Structure 1
Amino acid sequence: MANKRIVLTGGGSAGHVMVNLAIIPTLQEEGWQIDYIGSKTGIERDLIENIHDVSYHAISTGKLRRYMSKENFKDPFKVLTGIAQAFRILGKVKPSVIFSKGGFVSVPVLIAGRMRGLPAVVHESDITPGLANKLAMPFAKKILTTFPETMNYVSADKAEWVGAVVRTELLEGNKQNGLSYANLPGKKPVLLIMGGSGGAQRINGAVRQSLSELTEQFEIIHICGKNNIDATVQQQNYAQFEYIQDELPDVLAATSYVLSRAGSNAIFEFLALKKPMLLIPLSRQASRGDQILNANSFKKQGYAHVLEEEELSSDTLKQALQKLRNEASIVQDNMRKYQTQEAKDQVIQVIKDNAKASK
């Protein structure tokens, strides 16, 4: 029988943490001791460090850039340092299994895990694996995917499609509490705007240019990212926040429509909640194109409308939101056809099945 101690890892963006957040309560209920290895300053530290009975360990990590930068010469040394640190942590806590959600911090952890002879399970949220997961997957015993299309990009003998893991608490929000938190009257439909954990300057700018017209139609909750609040914007029916964590279930319960980037974890959560969404994926100039694939998959299935970032302006934003509002019932009909799987239970079962037996 495996000892019930697990190391979770993943970070760099909120998307690389959300599945971990979803499975932590169930693991704790089942008596697992949980350690989390993340970076020293990443968002994963903010999201994880204060969770009761989860021990957070910070390591050095490089960014593994696809472009030329003088930092590229430093990053291999940071990764090597991170491997050494992760190796020591794993030797100290002695887990029976590692679960990785991806991001740059996961690479040293999985390499160190292989050096320690520990089994690792990797979860890939996007249609095509990111660079960090591509580097980490050879060190994994099992690879789990959110999209069935991802099975074409990973090793068939390791891969298993489990579907989207959705945080249970998001389904349990209170609409009135969400309106009160944002100090909104609730007389118009609520538009939730999310630009990802780092915010989205292009989206923030287009929204603020259109604010007087948009607030005629909607009450707006704008999650604009760290240090992106504009204190000069004082508009009725508009509330802005850097980030929302504990109150997010209530805010989502109050939400009628969503304007968002197209990170996989977030859009599957909106799908589970049947929230019509307008997606503005990160452009290929700013990313590897994974959000474009995610958004187009949802558009094809009728779960979302899509506005390309290159086409984003104050006018196109207003037009796209009006179209979404007009066709919301069609979008929700399509969403109701989506068959949610018990993905969280499957993930936890795979973790158990692959955990190393105690000696």
Structure 2
Amino acid sequence: MAAGGTGGHVYPAISIADALKEQNPETEILFVGTRDHMEWRAVPKAGYDIESIWISGFHRRFTLKNLVFPFKLVTSLAQSLKILADFRPQVVVSCGGYAAGPIGWTAGKKGIPVVIQEQNSFPGVTNRLLAKFATKIFTAFKEADRYLPASKTQVTGNPTRATLTGVDKSVALSAFGFDDDKPVLLVMGGSGGAKTINEAMKANMKRLHDEAGLQIIWQCGSRYYDQLKNEFNAHDYKNLRLTAFLDNMAEAYAAADLVMSRAGASSCSELMLTGKPSVLVPSPNVAGDHQTQNAKAMADAGASKILDDSTMKETMSDLVEELIYNQEHLKSMNQAALELAKPEAAQLIAKEILEIATSKLDQ
């Protein structure tokens, strides 16, 4: 399993690994990633072994780090050869991120079947490069198919954490100390937080909390938490729950009437799975502007509304209030999100991986 850099790549890989183990407990699984990114913590926590390669992203503008990139690439290819020789896999699965590039390319050159799982509507560079080696490509959005070999693709949706659903709303509200007579807004900026969303929330907190009467869960990211906590300590926002991380995601989704979020692939898939109406704020700082394309796919289906990152400070309160008190509209968005969801994605992908692995063993 090759995935790295962000939760958008790593968590789908873990979900597939869990499904593989569920379908065939004897499956041996090894992850490949980098030591300085989240996979180095998340993968062992999920119960899997991980090996590291010395690779990093290539910056699109000139930096001194780019001078080291060729050395890192050659080293990572040599490390990938050793990992494949030692582990001898029947299949290599790329879930994207630059850590997947060397191991996927080396596997393809050695004739080891490569399976790709692409989370975004616009595929990342790594998976586009590996597509020529792929035996099978699983996509989350049909829009991704136009950038990949059509004969290899299958729309399965993104693998998501099975623990996100099934929490009763009253239990979730109680977990956050909320009442059941006021709507709940869940605001997420991803694991690292989102500066623009945080600044917009600061500017709109009085209106959303005091005037609109909302109960708010705000995941702001660790780098912003201390400063925001100090700023809001001076105010009495009794229905605000400010947090750096959300360890209890299932309760947060169950409590929320409306979610405001970046439009990363994992976030979109979780919104589909939980059926949560959403306001998506695509990040302008991602490769290929794929978050805008993810958000557009959600909005076109009627599951989400889109806010522009550059103007959200001025427009967010009007949109949130318009949606969160319109039960009929929320219900239609809920249905649209659920219709997009593919809760069996991990199981479907795991089944086909095992079939490919078995056919390789039989050769």
TM over 0.5: yes
Percent identity between the two aligned chains: 28
Cα distance, 1:268 vs structure 2: 2.0
1:107 aligns to 2:101 (yes or no)? yes
Q: In the alignment, does 2:342 pair up with 1:332?
A: no
Tell me the residue number matched to 2:5. Answer: 12
Larger mean Cα displacement after TM superposition, 178-187 or 116-125: 178-187
Count of residues in correspondence between the two structures: 348
**What does residue range 20-59 of structure 1 map to in structure 2 within 5 Å?**
20-29=13-22, 30-31=24-25, 32-52=27-47, 54-59=48-53
> CA offset at residue 287 of structure 1?
4.0
Which residue, 217, 220, 226 being the options, matches 2:216? 220
Equivalent of 2:119 in 108, 125, 133: 125
Question: 2:306 matched to which residue of 1?
Answer: 306
Q: Residue 40 of structure 1: CA displacement?
A: 0.6
Deviations 1:150-204 (A, max 9, x none): 2111112322222333322111335455445544455522211111222110001
Indicate how the Cα distance of structure 1 residues 227 and 176 shifts in structure 2: closer, same or farther if over 3 A, else same. Answer: farther
Cα RMSD (Å) of the superposition?
Answer: 2.1
TM-score, scaled relative to structure 1: 0.89
Counterparts in 2 of 1:339 and 1:282: CA distance versus 1, 3 Å: closer
Question: Is 1:146–1:162's contact at 8 Å kept on the other side of the alignment?
Answer: yes
1:90 shift after superposition: 2.1
Aligned match of 2:186? 192
Aligned residue for 1:316? Answer: 315
Name the CA shift for 1:309/1:298 in 2 (closer, same or farther; >3 Å): same
The farther-off stretch of 55-64 and 236-245 is 236-245
Deviations 1:218-269 (A, max 9, x none): 2211122232202212332112222224x21122222221000111221122
Partner Cα separation in structure 2 for residue 228 and residue 183 of structure 1: 23
With over 3 angstroms needed to count, the CA separation of the structure-2 counterparts of 1:174 and 1:60, relative to structure 1, is: farther
Pairs within 5 Å for 1:174-193:
174-175=168-169, 178-179=172-173, 181-193=175-187
Secondary structure of the residue aligned to 1:221 is: strand
Match of 1:272 in 2: 273
Distance change (3 Å), C-alpha of 1:140 and 1:170: same
Could you say which structure has the higher helix fraction?
A: 2
Q: Is the 8 A contact 1:91 1:116 kept in 2?
A: no
AA at the equivalent of 1:303: A
Matched letter for residue 33 of structure 1: E
Q: Is the 8 A contact 1:184 1:237 kept in 2?
A: yes
User: How does the TM-score come out when normalised to structure 2?
Assistant: 0.88
1:357 is matched with which residue? Answer: 361
Aligned to 1:346: 348
Aligned-partner SS, 1:37: strand
Q: Distance in 1 between matches of 2:18 and 2:182?
A: 35
Single out whichever of 322-331 and 34-43 deviates more from structure 2.
322-331
TM-superposed deviation, 1:65: 2.5
Match of 1:97 in 2: 91
Q: Within 1, Cα distance between the matches of 2:171 and 2:70?
A: 47
Q: Flag the 1:95–1:181 CA change in 2: closer, same or farther, 3 A.
A: farther
Cα gap change, 1:41 to 1:320, in 2 (>3 Å): same
Q: Against the structure 1 CA distance between its residues 48 and 239, is the aligned structure 2 distance closer, same or farther, given a 3 Å change threshold?
A: same
Aligned equivalent of 1:4: none
Quote the Cα distance in structure 2 between the aligned partners of 1:333 and 1:177.
23
Distance 1:174 1:341 in 2: 19
Inter-partner Cα distance in structure 1 for 2:171 and 2:28: 33
Superposed counterparts of 1:257-268, under 5 Å: 257-268=258-269
Q: 1:212 Cα shift?
A: 2.1
Alignment CA distance shift 1:340-1:78 (3 Å): same
Amino acid corresponding to residue 199 of structure 1 in structure 2: G
Q: For the structure 1 residues 48 and 186, does the alpha-carbon distance in structure 2 shift closer, same or farther, using more than 3 Å as the test? A: farther
Indicate the larger mover: 288-297 or 111-120. Answer: 111-120
Kindly tell me: are residues 256 and 21 of structure 1, through their superposed partners in 2, closer, same or farther at Cα, counting changes over 3 Å?
A: farther
Instruction: State the alpha-carbon separation in 1 of the partners of residues 224 and 281 from structure 2.
Output: 18
Per the alignment, residue 253 of structure 2 pairs with 252
Contact 1:175/1:251 (<8 A) preserved? no
Q: Is the 8 A contact 1:148 1:163 kept in 2?
A: no
Distance 1:25 1:333 in 2: 28
